[in-house]
Chains A and B, each alone.
Chain A
Amino acid sequence: MMNAPHPYEEYVLREYDLVPRTIIPLPGKNVWKVVTPFGHFLLKKSHASSEQLQFVAEHLQVLARKGFSAALPFVPTKYGEAFVSSESGLYYLVPWVEGPLSRDWQENESLDWHEKVLEKMAQMHYLTLRFWSRNHKFHQWNRVTGQKLIRRWEKRLDMVKKYNEEVKKSAYPSPFETAFKANASSIVEMGKTAIAQLREWLDRKKQFRHVFCHGRLHRENILFNQRGQVVFIDFDHANLDTPVRDLALFFRRHMNRFDWHFEVGDDWMEIYQTIFPLTEQERRLMSVYLLYPERIMKLIQQYQNRDRDSSEIFFVRQFEKQVNQCLLIRQFAYHFIRHYT
């Protein structure tokens, strides 16, 4: 498959002294596979800020120096820069990882992939625990504090409340809106409870223990290379946050498959904590994170910003699925408090 290279990508590749044989656009916007005599690469046009990419690049380099194999550092340009900051956007290059895409995992999914990912996640958190505290330039920005988190959660909750008011006024609610109306009060209640518990937690603990968090560690951003090793990709949303953030996101995304079975959760926690033990306060924070109905809120936001062509049925089904999960998550969160704190 031979594609005419876009002029921007071509001049970006000059900064790497790479003459591409082929440039293949990949699904999703602004990502290309670049085939060159020096090897295969993935070129990405990122929407992150240059400060964010610099932050990511430095952390990935530190991880690589420490022998962490699950994150690939950016390939530096011939001028020694971590990425190309041009008028048309920011581009970075990473070595191409040949491996099954997440959508192919359904069929030949190895049962222990969750464990492998949790091990690598714990390693990444452990290895970056002390690095950031020595790099003062990252102290002020990109560090998620408890107050920032409360603001973020409250903003989302306000959005849900506002949407609820709109839906109440609607004379002819859509199927999604009808489903939402029936569950709105319990969603708001869950959000309020989580925020109240987070406040309480902050009053006692004051601040987070910060590590380098991927921020979007789910199947779309996890690959297995040809040797079956886990590789995390797309660190564009990484920041310095509590390790609980990555962990809670991973649980929320993948425990559904196991119906939030306590034993599976306990196994996962054990795997993670063997490498990077959480403090008691962090374990309590984990339950607070799980209580907050973030995925439902995201879904509501997505529904509000949907295209005209998008399927109503899809959103309704997703919503019902999420609401059903909420009950299980709540049970799991309370089990978590009992078991770990």
Chain B
Amino acid sequence: MNLSRTQAGQILQAYDWKVYRGRPHQNGILLETNKGKKQINFWHDRVTFTWSYMWREELARSGYRTVERFLPTRNNRPGFVMDQWIVAATDYYSGISVDHRKHRDHYVLGKVLGRLHKTLEKLKNHRTMKRIESVWKKNNTFEIFDVRPLPQPENKHNFTSGVEARIKKSLELSSKVHLLRKHLPLSHAGFSGDNLIRISRQWYLTGFHNPSLKLLHHDTSHAISHIYQNSEWNLDHVAAFIKGYRTERQLSREEWIYMLSILIYRGETGELGDSGTLNDQKDKWDRLVRWIAGYLERESEVPS
């Protein structure tokens, strides 16, 4: 991120810190200040920024304090407008991320996502949130199935002959729960172990700067596939994640179906893994889908 002297001055003026050093970091700037390390991020979209600000504050208000929040400016605002951006500062967290060999870490990951979803659900009926969602839905394709094109013709030989039928099945599943989709809040497109950082036995929820937004559970399915892949295709880790999630929030049958449809779709379109090795991994993804379908069936039998 290259800044002019005036822009840098504006940032320094906005906050009540003494800055010692600064350097570009990811898509922003990392500052070393008298109040510790701070990260400056440049947001492109005011709507997404406000949405992000609201859930972070609500999550903290609900008692989950170890969430990355926007630091108030001297004027007590969560950020300020500079040219075409909204500039916002957060603390910079460095520590250990999720260890994919540990069930416990995946359990925590599920718990945190469950908590985040509970917060988003709570905020859904908030007037500002409703306005944000309607603006977002007007300007963006939030139905993920339209975003990702079907497999390219040259890759077609990589897939089994039933691919199209299964994608159809996925869309069918999804359409079964169209009522649910209308009521689901917006969430992030992705969520993974990288969003959690452990400092002194506390897990900090970080990241999500300029995120893509999608309906709830695109992040859940993303997290599940991420865990599955990184734990060397171990379903116990997925189970730990779901167990953690359910300590915070219960999933309805419709939500399970919706999540399953997303997983099938993403698996079939190669979105879950490296498309070059998709054939090798096909069985593994099938196993995951079957396992989740089985989980869903078991859940229907035994009320939780």
Nearest-Cβ distance from residue A106 to partner chain B, whole angstroms: 41
User: Which residue of the partner chain B has the closest CB to A8?
Assistant: B202
CB neighbours (8 Å) of B200 from chain A are: 7, 10-11
B64-A87 in contact (CB<8A): yes
Given the complex of chains A and B, what is the CA–CA distance between A87 and B71 in angstroms? 21
Is B91 among interface residues, defined by CB-CB distance under 8 A? yes
A17-B202 in contact (CB<8A): no
Is A19 among interface residues, defined by CB-CB distance under 8 A? yes
B36-A15 in contact (CB<8A): no
CB neighbours (8 Å) of A86 from chain B are: 63, 65
User: Which residue of the partner chain B has the closest CB to A85?
Assistant: B63
CB neighbours (8 Å) of B35 from chain A are: 17, 78
1/0 per residue, CB under 8 A from A, across B46-67: the answer is 0000000000000011011110
CB neighbours (8 Å) of B63 from chain A are: 85-87
Nearest-Cβ distance from residue B292 to partner chain A, whole angstroms: 30
Is B201 among interface residues, defined by CB-CB distance under 8 A? yes
Given the complex of chains A and B, what is the CA–CA distance between A79 and B35 in angstroms? 13
DSSP majority for the B interface? loop
- Near B by CB (< 8 A), chain A positions 1-45 give 7, 10-12, 14-15, 17, 19
CB neighbours (8 Å) of A7 from chain B are: 200-202
Residue from the set A79, A86, A87 with the largest chain B CB neighbour count within 10 Å: A79
Nearest-Cβ distance from residue B32 to partner chain A, whole angstroms: 13
Given the complex of chains A and B, what is the CA–CA distance between A251 and B201 in angstroms? 48
Contact of B66 among A11, A78, A80 (CB under 8 A): A11
1/0 per residue, CB under 8 A from B, across A66-89: the answer is 000000000000111000111100
Is B139 among interface residues, defined by CB-CB distance under 8 A? no
CB neighbours (8 Å) of B71 from chain A are: 78-79
- Near A by CB (< 8 A), chain B positions 191-223 give 199-202
Is B69 among interface residues, defined by CB-CB distance under 8 A? yes
CB neighbours (8 Å) of A17 from chain B are: 35-36
Q: List 17 A-B contacts (CB under 8 A).
A: A10-B200, A10-B202, A11-B65, A11-B200, A11-B202, A12-B65, A14-B91, A17-B36, A19-B36, A78-B71, A78-B72, A79-B69, A80-B72, A84-B65, A85-B65, A86-B63, A87-B63
B residues contacting A by CB (< 8 A) are 35-36, 60-61, 63-66, 69, 71-72, 76, 91, 199-202
Knowing that A17-B36, A80-B72, A85-B65 are A-B contacts, what are 5 other residue pairs whose CB atoms are under 8 Å apart, sorted by A's residue number? A11-B199, A11-B202, A78-B71, A79-B60, A79-B72
